[in-house]
């Protein structure tokens, strides 16, 4: 066999093993092993799975880490509901804020890890989507009343559909129309689902020949973190505390 081919195969094997080592991290404690997987929630956090001894075999669970992530945006109640539903569908259990599977044999560990991780991701993503929808709807209704007060009912439309440059139909909460000028005011909460949704919509409509002006409405700039800079790429970003005069200037 060609010695060069053997050397190349060795390099390939080493490269693959090094890549795998960086993708999956394992930390061992006294009574458990924690595995950080290359599976991310919609919030950008990797799924962490814990393996512990059980009466027969092992217990595989997420140790409540995904629940704690959901707590950060106030989605713990929704997460618990979603986790209970998905756990039942996938043959797992949910209790004490943890998604888990009992009595897993050694040969079933890989599959159990994957299933628990999948349910944790599904539960988090569903809770995040619901939280974003609820918060954005509340903010949209509040800001609609303010826009009507500033521009009158006839100039402010709710739930407006606009076809983007991609030919996809997008739905927007509030659109102010003054003459031939349209300005979209879209609520955004500091949740990944909300931010990415608004960014995608604005990115598409901004490419139209007669693109409407775009305004992202947030409650506080400080809590948006890096999301603020992302939104600023496709829109003006304002806080709900902005003066009426500044809102008029955005529409002018």
Say whether pLDDT at 29 is over 60: yes
Mean pLDDT in residue range 124-146: 94
Q: Would you state the pLDDT for residue 6?
A: 52
Q: Quickly state the pLDDT bin for 5 (edges 50, 70, 90).
A: low
Contact present, 26 and 33 (Cβ < 8 Å): yes
More confident residue, 7 or 133: 133
Q: Is 114 left (phi over 0), alpha (psi -120 to 50) or beta?
A: alpha
What rounded mean pLDDT belongs to the chain?
A: 94
Question: What's this model's pTM, rounded to 2 decimal places?
Answer: 0.82
Say whether pLDDT at 212 is over 80: yes
Give tens-digit pLDDT for 87-105: 999 999 999 999 999 999 9
Specify the CATH number for 152-251; select among 3.40.1350.10, 3.40.50.620, 3.100.10.20, 3.30.230.10. 3.40.1350.10
Contact present, 108 and 144 (Cβ < 8 Å): no
Residue at token pair 């053997």: 6
Say whether pLDDT at 72 is over 80: yes
Contact present, 131 and 74 (Cβ < 8 Å): yes
Say whether pLDDT at 110 is over 60: yes
CA atoms within 13 A on the CB side of 25: 7
Q: Would you state the pLDDT for residue 4?
A: 52
Q: What are phi and psi of 38, to 5 degrees?
A: -80, 50
CA distances from 186 to 13, 38, 71, 171 (A): 50, 33, 25, 10
Say whether pLDDT at 216 is over 60: yes
- What is the distance of C-alpha 226 from the center of its chain? 14
More confident residue, 248 or 10: 248
Q: How far apart are CA 97 and CA 67, in angstroms?
A: 6
Reported as type and span, the H/E element at residue 174 is strand 169-178
Q: Would you state the pLDDT for residue 170?
A: 98
Who contacts 230 (Cβ-Cβ below 8 Å, separation ≥6)?
A: 195, 199
Neighbours of 152 (CB within 10 A): 10
Q: Quickly state the pLDDT bin for 20 (edges 50, 70, 90).
A: confident
- What is the distance of C-alpha 194 from the center of its chain? 7
Say whether pLDDT at 21 is over 90: no
Q: Would you state the pLDDT for residue 139?
A: 94
Who contacts 220 (Cβ-Cβ below 8 Å, separation ≥6)?
A: 239
Say whether pLDDT at 67 is over 60: yes
Neighbours of 171 (CB within 10 A): 10
CA distances from 158 to 1, 10, 147, 205, 244 (A): 72, 62, 11, 17, 19
Say whether pLDDT at 8 is over 90: no
Say whether pLDDT at 17 is over 60: yes
Say whether pLDDT at 129 is over 80: yes
Mean pLDDT in residue range 38-45: 93
Query: How do strand 181-187 and strand 236-239 relate by DSSP bridges?
Result: unpaired
Name which of 130, 132, 123, 135 is nearest 65 in CA terms.
Answer: 123
């Amino acid at each position: 066999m060609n010695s060069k081919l053997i050397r190349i195969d060795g390099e390939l094997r080493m490269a693959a093993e090094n890549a795998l080592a960086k993708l999956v991290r394992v930390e061992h404690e006294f009574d458990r092993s924690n595995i950080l997987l290359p599976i991310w929630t919609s919030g950008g956090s990797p799924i962490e799975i814990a393996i512990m001894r059980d009466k027969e075999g092992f217990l595989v669970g997420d140790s409540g880490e995904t629940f704690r992530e959901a707590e950060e945006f106030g989605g713990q109640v929704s997460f618990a509901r979603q986790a209970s539903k998905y756990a039942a569908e996938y043959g797992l259990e949910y209790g004490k804020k943890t998604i888990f599977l009992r009595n897993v044999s050694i040969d079933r560990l890989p599959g159990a890890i994957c299933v628990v991780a999948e349910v944790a991701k599904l539960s988090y993503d569903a809770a995040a989507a619901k939280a974003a929808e609820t918060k954005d709807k509340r903010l949209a209704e509040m800001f609609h009343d303010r826009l009507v007060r500033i521009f009158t009912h006839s100039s402010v439309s709710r739930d407006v559909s606009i076809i983007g440059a991609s030919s996809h139909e997008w739905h927007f909460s509030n659109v102010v129309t003054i003459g031939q000028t349209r300005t979209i005011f879209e609520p955004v909460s500091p949740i990944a689902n909300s931010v990415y949704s608004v960014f995608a919509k604005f990115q598409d409509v901004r490419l139209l020949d007669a693109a409407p002006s775009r305004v992202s409405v947030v409650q506080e700039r400080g809590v948006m973190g890096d999301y603020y800079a992302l939104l600023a790429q496709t829109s003006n970003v304002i806080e709900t505390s902005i003066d009426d005069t500044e809102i008029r200037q955005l529409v002018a």
